[in-house]
Amino acid sequence: MPKFISNNKVYYTPVEYVLSKVGGTYKMPLLWRLKDQGKRFSELKNSFERISDRMLSKSLKELVDDQFLAKKVFAEIPVRVEYHITEKGKRAIPIISSLRDYGFQLINEDGIQIEP
Amino acid sequence: MPKFISNNKVYYTPVEYVLSKVGGTYKMPLLWRLKDQGKRFSELKNSFERISDRMLSKSLKELVDDQFLAKKVFAEIPVRVEYHITEKGKRAIPIISSLRDYGFQLINEDGIQIEP
DNA sequence: CCGTATCCAACATGATACTG
DNA sequence: CAGTATCATGTTGGATACGG
């Protein structure tokens, strides 16, 4: 089996590595929302029914640190901040797209009702 | 935004739902190892460099409960148990395949050494 | 407006020992 | 051989309050 070391952490499968970067509850949904245009912190916040400031901030920060997103700060008052997808981030979009499709398929197979 | 309810838990995105079923460290790697032939508990255990009995058992059980895998027990002494992928499980394989490919791509982009 | 700090609950994972 | 039980630890995410 392969074995990768990054930031003093050991990964044993490529899937494990991917999920460490874009896994979790919000990261892929965030990239998906930003695939076509940049958005502000508040826009992103409002696009989820629930999400704490803390998790939105933390998820965005990690995506920026890992260069999936870029952050642009406008020195206005009050300050305006925009997040944009990067070239690296764009390469994740086809994967997220097929995961989404598969998600809807699973939800269907499992007979789950989607609420309006 | 959509909203799904399953087993008294609320999911807000299809990605979140998928990851609740096949996310985590071992589930997709397990499905991947079983895509072509059935394998025994001990074979699966040996195919990971590290994995506790507990996590292997737990992951397999959940995949069986969710019908991604089927379990076959042979009444031999000592007992032999085989895990096989189901039709439902097979539908996850293309997704796992592209996630794996993307994983290797990311590992490459990030300049990570793969140890032998 | 866009966050960070703090505290806390829930869950994921690991180590070890034990059993049909 | 194929697990389960128990205990310990780390990580994830939520709630709330506060700050530039």
**pLDDT of residue B115 exceeding 80:** no
pLDDT of residue A1: 64
Q: What is the pLDDT of residues A49-100, one digit of tens each?
A: 889 999 999 999 999 999 999 999 999 989 999 999 999 999 999 999 999 9
Q: In this complex, which of A23, A50, A114 lies closest to B2 when CB atoms are compared?
A: A114
Tokens of A48: 């989820």
Of residues A1 and B49, the one with the higher pLDDT is B49
Domain ranges of chain A: 25-109
A113 — pLDDT class (breaks 50, 70, 90)? confident
| Average per-residue pLDDT for chain B | 95
Which residue matches tokens 């027990």? B73
pLDDT of residue A101: 97
Q: What is the pLDDT of residues B33-90, one digit of tens each?
A: 999 999 999 999 999 988 999 999 999 999 999 999 999 999 998 999 999 999 999 9
CA distance B53 to chain A (A): 17
Q: How large is the average pLDDT for residues B91-96?
A: 98
Q: Please tell me the pTM assigned to this model.
A: 0.95
**pLDDT of residue B7 exceeding 90:** no
Long-range contacts of A103-111 (CB under 8 A, 24+ apart): A103/B13, A103/B14, A103/B15, A103/B17, A103/B18, A104/B14, A105/B91, A106/B14, A106/B17, A106/B18, A106/B21, A107/B4, A107/B14, A107/B17, A109/B88, A110/B6
Q: Cα(A100)–Cα(A55) distance, rounded to whole angstroms? A: 21
Nucleotides of chain C touched by protein CB (<7 A): 1-6, 12-17, 20
pLDDT of residue A50: 84
**pLDDT of residue B100 exceeding 70:** yes
Residues of B in contact with A114 (CB under 8 A): 2-4
Tell me which of A3-17, A32-46, A67-81, B87-101 is least confident: A3-17
Class of domain B25-109: mainly alpha
B52 CA to C14 C1', in Å? 7
Amino acid at position A20, single letter: S
